[in-house]
Amino acid sequence: MLAAAEPRGAVGLVVTWLDTDYWLRLAAGATDAFRTHGYVPICFTLGRQWNREPHTPHPFFELVGLECVSGIVVAASAAFQSDAAAFIGSRGDLPAVCVGQRVPDVPSVWTRNADGVRLLMKHLTETRGRQRVAFIRGTANNPEAEARFHAWEDFCAAASLPHGPELVEQGEFTQASGEAATLRLLEKNGVVHPDAILASNDPMAIGALRALRARGFLVPDDISVVGFDDLEAKNADPPLTTARQPVYEMGARAAEMLVADLRGDRRERECMFSPELVVRASCAPTSVPWGRHFFAMARGGAFWEPSHAPLDRVVSALWHELAMTMDARPSRRGRVGELVARLGDELELARAHESALLDAVKRARSWAASRLQEALSRAESVEQLQAPLQELTPLLGIESLTVATVTAREGFGGHARLVVDCVPPGISPLAAPGDVLVGRRIVALHARRPATALRVALPLLEEGRAFGFLLVTGAVLDAAILHDLASGLSQAVLRVRRG
């Protein structure tokens, strides 16, 4: 990663929630690109799903404006849907780029969803011989979900494959909805069940795996399962065949386009990425550690690639190159195949060590989060809020934290009262607790603090209504921690305010 340039000001990444690998990877790509050009990225997120009226912008996003950011990248797919254009239009002259969906008259970055579906369908039908492929749709009215569904429908029609309503079920881009949709598919198809299921994203495909296992089906022997995105697929059971969406690269490209716009050097208004087919065990069964596949397949020159981790891809490319240049002698191919297999096994061991380290970090953070929630549940004053936050948030990877409430009359576009401001030693607080500043001014001041990682802004809620906001800076990409922290602080701040 390139080093950050000299500071140039704050920019915003506007996303509905940060609770899947898709959004986290997108945010990471945009954040890294912004920082290499010296911009301070702030991620404005609603946390997790919320209840709202259709086509009604969430009031929290009024916090986004020229007073605190010089431009925004808007994650237009998923819950923003058709609201993206209206939201950008409501921001006046604030420069904007959309990512995840093409938005008319707005610079946009997106994936050719139909290409990914065609790759999956060709693999299922031509390589695996599947003829009755069911489809689990994504969230209703979502442009990406609709594009994927229509691509499946068009492929089936062109190939004279069945594609009636008995092979289609609605999902919501979640594991639970994928599981429920699969159970409905099995029920209405009876003994003539699908021989493959294509889900609009990986979580729904993982839900399908769970449902099939519960009903006694073997994957892929009885039914193959494929997903879309390749962000949560390789850890499924069995690992999931999917269409890889270059989400990190999409976030980075959207940031680069905004930076060019801010510098008066706009060169492109649209950027399209093509998905890539990733074949794993949900379509091609295996019980052998994948490193050994290089050795097992070496004599026949076949090739197996179950993962797209960076080192795995290097090994895969190495085997491709060696297979092209090696002579036909079985002994030579066997020796080279065994060496590549040993390298693959070493990568498996390295991944196991990395996984153990990550588990230890998660356990430590879980302990700190539990202690913090307990302290927040007892807090009756600002001082009782400040003390545990100051002590425990560093253990959660949080460098600084600011909490403010807004006036009901002015909302997020007006004034806000500072409640708590936790900062590391040597950094001055924004203001004294109880001081009133314009909400966007608080965001701007928070963005000026030095930071090593992501800045996140999310709302405080009372029965679904936003009454304040939380600003967090640090190595915090754990959506569950952010959600629980905002929830615990919401209850604690309301209790302190009533007291």
pLDDT at 332: 58
Residue 418: is it exposed, middle or buried by C-beta count within 10 angstroms (0-12/13-18/19+)? buried
- For residue 136, what are the β-bridge partners? 169, 199
401 in helix, strand or coil? Answer: strand
pLDDT at 323: 57
CATH fold match for the domains 113-246 and 379-498: no
pLDDT at 180: 97
User: CA-CA distance, 482 to 140, in Å (whole number)?
Assistant: 27
Q: List Cβ neighbours of 157 (8 Å cut-off, separation of 6 or more).
A: 163
In the chain, domain spans: 113-246, 290-378, 379-498
- Nearest CA to 445 out of 6, 4, 40, 33 is that of 40
pLDDT at 96: 92
* DSSP letter (8 states) at residue 201: S
pLDDT at 339: 65
- Give me the sheet containing 196-199, strands edge to edge: 168-170, 133-137, 196-199, 224-229, 241-244, 276-278
* DSSP letter (8 states) at residue 104: T
User: CA-CA distance, 241 to 196, in Å (whole number)?
Assistant: 12
CB 387, CB 371: distance < 8 Å = no
- What is the distance in angstroms between the CA of the first residue and the CA of the last residue of the chain? 48
CB 125, CB 131: distance < 8 Å = yes
pTM of structure: 0.76
- Nearest CA to 420 out of 438, 435, 410 is that of 435
pLDDT at 363: 81
CATH number attached to the domain at 113-246: 3.40.50.2300
* DSSP letter (8 states) at residue 128: S
What averages of pLDDT result for each successive group of 10 residues across the chain (499 residues)?
Answer: 55 82 84 90 75 64 91 75 75 89 86 94 94 94 88 97 96 94 95 94 96 94 94 86 93 94 84 92 59 38 41 57 56 63 70 74 82 92 91 88 89 91 88 91 89 83 90 77 89 88
CB 381, CB 492: distance < 8 Å = no
Helix locations, 134-229, DSSP H: 143-158, 175-189, 202-214
Q: Which CATH superfamily is domain 379-498 in?
A: GAF domain (3.30.450.40)
pLDDT at 305: 40
Instruction: For tokens 């940060």, name the residue.
Output: 18
Residue 15: is it exposed, middle or buried by C-beta count within 10 angstroms (0-12/13-18/19+)? buried
- Nearest CA to 421 out of 385, 457, 451, 454 is that of 385
pLDDT at 291: 40
User: CA-CA distance, 4 to 158, in Å (whole number)?
Assistant: 50
93 in helix, strand or coil? Answer: coil
